[in-house]
Structure 1
Amino acid sequence: MANDPMLKFVGIPQAFPEKREPQLRAEDFREIAERYAPQKADEQSARCSQCGVPYCSVHCPLGNHIPDWLRLTAQGRLREAYEMSNLTSTMPEICGRICPQDRLCEGNCVIETAGHGAVTIGSVEKYITDTAWAEGWVEPVEAGAPRGQSVAIIGAGPGGLTAAEYLCVAGYEVHIYDRYDRAGGLLTYGIPGFKLEKEVVMRRIKRLEDGGIIFHQNFEVGRDASLDDLRSKHDAVLIATGVYKARNIKTPGSGLDGVVPALDYLTTSNRKGFGDAVPTFDNGSMNAAGKNVVVIGGGDTAMDCVRTAIRQGAKSVKCLYRRDRENMPGSQREVANAEEEGVEFVWLSGPKSFDGKDGKVEKILASKMRLGAPDASGRRSPETDPDGDFTLDADMVIMALGFEAEDLPALFGADELGVTRWGTVRVDHKTMMTNLDGVFAVGDIVRGASLVVWAIKDGRDVTEHMHQWLKAKSDAARVAA
């Protein structure tokens, strides 16, 4: 059709929002790119081919109606685009910032496979909802008619926050119990501001508070109340704790001062960004300023650490990873951003030992690796090259090797809670309920360490199962009365 604004991918090249110069953005924790100007967002949305089978939506865990809100954006109908994106996601502007689009929607875009460069879906998604906030289109959470039942949610991360919103709208009294002093989980304390400015998270949380959701901060289940206590106080419980136990390797010298877990390091940095008093930062133990920093790992957390160290004024920053660039789990865009900012990647390398004086790390003895036969996951397994040892200076070593589940049965005082051999909570995947009646679980504590978008999906999906269970409980009580 002559007036159709779409299918412009041949005449309009792919263009992301312009990034600030590396040397400038490395001086602060602001996001590295500004949002699109309206015309640019319209143009980039118009590149969508509106294909019959939208692989972008298929590969989006939330099943976002991506072609639909791209068309609306291209037509200048931005408020409708926001409303469409909000149908499937409670946090579209957050997903637009931190989802690995190159592995999900954009990586499966039809015009990407045709060689024209994917539609810049994530950047448009961020632009749509940022505009909605600026224009006042984001409506408050309106609690549904009270049902006389309450729900406890353990964990204020993306899965818990998403379930809380839907359950509140459905008429349940929702209480969120979280160990931290601010809600948001990894969105608040794990992800640096240059990827997700904290005001973006805080305004979402305030919206939930204003909607009547009750937050209990600095509350540890097992210390302040047992799981059974919460079960007796509320009609249902949702476990959405995430996984926070640092995965480690038994490397000689790993107990030296200066060898620190990634999440502790990132939490310290984010707390400093909030203006908190942070003794471990101020005394230098969790501050990379002036140090030779080596980050071990190749995932998104490792990328967050190397780029944080650059901003803290590290003398040098290296990332040691045992596989090559093509086989790393982290986003390739994040690798490119890190390289632009001055990070050096040492591929096919792993630590053999950490050495130092007076209990403080000074060097890493590392070994070159090579890729052997594929492992059970299909990835080629790294093998040590016996003739490839080398040494790196390291005043600070950040271990970013992933996360595992904490021992929740012991932590919660609930030995009867069923877990898998990996420590994750075992659920019936049809109902998302654990072996304990009325106790559900979602997100990383079920899946293992995964993406924020999957936690949001789980938080959305579990609400229907919880609603059906709570309704049956209410009906049974009414009959019994």
Structure 2
Amino acid sequence: MATEKMLKFVNVDRDMPTKRGADDRKQDFNEIYAEFAEAKAEEQASRCSQCGVPYCQSHCPLHNNIPDWLRMTATGRLQEAYEISQATNTFPEICGRICPQDRLCEGNCVIEQSGHGTVTIGSVEKYITDTAWEEGWVMPISPTAERSESVAIIGAGPGGLAAADMLRRQGVQVTVYDRYDRAGGLLTYGIPGFKLEKDVVMRRVELLEKGGVKFVLNCNVGEDISFDEIRSQHDAVLIATGVYKTRDLVAPGSDAKGIVRAIDYLTASNRQNFGDVVPELESGELSAEGKNVIVIGGGDTAMDCVRTAIRQGANSVKCLYRRDRANMPGSQRETQNAEEEGVEFVWLSAPKGFQGGDAVTGVEVQKMRLGAPDASGRQSPELIEGSDYVEDADLVIKALGFEPEDLPKLWGVDGLEVTRWGTVKADFGTGKTALDGVYAVGDIVRGASLVVWAIRDGREAAQAILGQFNQSASVAAE
């Protein structure tokens, strides 16, 4: 019976896929975790308690049916596991690699709360979908019937691609516009290969193309084509641009050479790993090789930067964060990986200024302590007077988070409402904006957030757009 293959968490310990040693993995940009073998994936999936209220599922933004596909995996029914997994998640092989499972599904696993160690949900999800690709179960979209309606999607990141997938499955004509030369957004140029190898993203993009999604790349809306032109050519428009404007750091000396934005640094590295010629790397401007590197910030982008700098051959890499380890926003798993690879974390520290004149030579650091909680409930950092000192630095990377660009101004659009934070105003659950037939999803609505939330937003907006089309068709038929 299937039940005999489950509930093994009492006598089977939690086990992650083998992780490459730090000395080995920091020599390249390949993923650091090995694949589960079939027997190991079945074993780990069998640890699921099949609880009546699956908190893993309720804490997943996509509400993935995790207990069911774990049961299918444990009983050797892998193709069914894949079908259940992809029914709610457009890119399970990507989420299995980069979702912060420790904060979402795994962090809320019932057996984790009871002290038995969480089910390794992300690793099993990755295994299921990678196997599906190998076995040929992942097929291009083939709509049962084509529709005449067309949708323009601005932004080829996870939110836009998720919507494109859902719309094409219903026969809608989809064109995706993106500013970069490759689709994928931050999946392609923001996240390093050691977390998400690029062939994983590119094969998904190719599958969408084979399914009839059209891509218009190297296209800057507002320059190469106007928003009004796009709107006039399509029945609906979905804005999924993400947020790319770096939060600035205003401090004495912050305009010195050698102080760079995280997005520029990571994009250059990812381009090089695609085989592109990157002048900023060849000149050394965006290279950490032989340098003392300081990364400012404590989120996942900061973790990507410090680990990239290690692989580029930095002399030393330090991460300054104004709170302590317990209060950092980034994944604890990524922090541990970074420490294993030689990154030093300087907790309760913030930059006061920069030394060196034209080119940075050091960061003036001021020590902090945690005081009373702020509006979000987190303890606010406070300065410790007289504790300043200098950290040597030849390269400083600002990883302070991202803000939305001023889309109404960039695109010359009247009536596209934004919030006081600059994000596009859109209805929760549908993505509808104040402009008729215009929707918005992902970080441009939420602010900088997780890939899995962008996927959810894209899927929900696609459903809303289909509802609009069906309603219009119904009215026309009356």
TM normalised by structure 1 equals 0.98
**Is the contact made by 1:26 and 1:311 (CA closer than 8 Å) also made in structure 2?**
yes
Alignment match, 1:114 = 114
Q: Helix, strand or coil for the counterpart of 2:71?
A: helix
1:236 is aligned to 2:233: no
Alignment match, 1:267 = 267
- 1:75 is displaced (CA, Å) by 0.4
More divergent stretch after superposition (409-418 vs 326-335): 409-418
Which amino acid in the other structure matches residue 398 of structure 1? I
Alignment match, 2:102 = 102
**Is the contact made by 1:143 and 1:212 (CA closer than 8 Å) also made in structure 2?**
no
Q: What are the residue-to-residue correspondences of 1:11-410 with 2, within 5 Å?
A: 11-357=11-357, 359-410=358-409
- 1:476 is displaced (CA, Å) by 4.6
1:431 is aligned to 2:430: yes
Q: Helix, strand or coil for the counterpart of 1:381?
A: strand
**Is the contact made by 2:430 and 2:460 (CA closer than 8 Å) also made in structure 1?**
no
- 1:475 is displaced (CA, Å) by 4.3
Distance 1:311 1:429 in 2: 41
**Is the contact made by 1:226 and 1:414 (CA closer than 8 Å) also made in structure 2?**
no
Distance 1:13 1:354 in 2: 49
- 1:412 is displaced (CA, Å) by 1.2
**Count of residues paired in the alignment:** 478
Q: Helix, strand or coil for the counterpart of 2:249?
A: coil
Which amino acid in the other structure matches residue 126 of structure 2? K
* 1:119-173 alpha-carbon deviations (Å, 9 max, x no partner): 0000000000000101111121113412211110000000000100110111111
Which amino acid in the other structure matches residue 258 of structure 1? G
Q: Helix, strand or coil for the counterpart of 1:249?
A: coil
Distance 2:394 2:430 in 1: 49
**Is the contact made by 2:364 and 2:390 (CA closer than 8 Å) also made in structure 1?**
yes
Q: Helix, strand or coil for the counterpart of 1:255?
A: coil
Which amino acid in the other structure matches residue 435 of structure 2? L
- 1:184 is displaced (CA, Å) by 0.1
* 1:273-296 alpha-carbon deviations (Å, 9 max, x no partner): 000011001100000000000000
Identify if the C-alpha distance between structure 1 residues 465 and 400 changes in structure 2 by more than 3 Å, giving closer, same or farther: same
Gaps of 5+ in 1: none
**Is the contact made by 2:429 and 2:457 (CA closer than 8 Å) also made in structure 1?**
no
Distance 2:6 2:62 in 1: 24
TM normalised by structure 2 equals 0.98
Distance 1:60 1:148 in 2: 34
Distance 2:232 2:133 in 1: 39
Alignment match, 1:415 = 414
- 1:3 is displaced (CA, Å) by 6.2
Alignment match, 1:440 = 439
Which amino acid in the other structure matches residue 13 of structure 1? D
Distance 1:431 1:72 in 2: 32
Alignment match, 2:452 = 453
More divergent stretch after superposition (83-92 vs 219-228): 219-228
Identify if the C-alpha distance between structure 1 residues 475 and 224 changes in structure 2 by more than 3 Å, giving closer, same or farther: farther
Identity fraction in percent: 66
Q: Helix, strand or coil for the counterpart of 2:386?
A: strand
- 1:416 is displaced (CA, Å) by 2.1
Which amino acid in the other structure matches residue 360 of structure 2? V
**Is the contact made by 1:144 and 1:172 (CA closer than 8 Å) also made in structure 2?**
no
RMSD between aligned residues: 1.1
Distance 2:260 2:59 in 1: 35
Which amino acid in the other structure matches residue 407 of structure 1? D
- 1:473 is displaced (CA, Å) by 3.2
**Is the contact made by 2:289 and 2:314 (CA closer than 8 Å) also made in structure 1?**
yes
Which amino acid in the other structure matches residue 35 of structure 1? E
**Is the contact made by 1:240 and 1:443 (CA closer than 8 Å) also made in structure 2?**
yes
Distance 1:413 1:144 in 2: 39
Identify if the C-alpha distance between structure 1 residues 110 and 271 changes in structure 2 by more than 3 Å, giving closer, same or farther: same
Q: Helix, strand or coil for the counterpart of 1:440?
A: strand
**Is the contact made by 1:66 and 1:85 (CA closer than 8 Å) also made in structure 2?**
yes
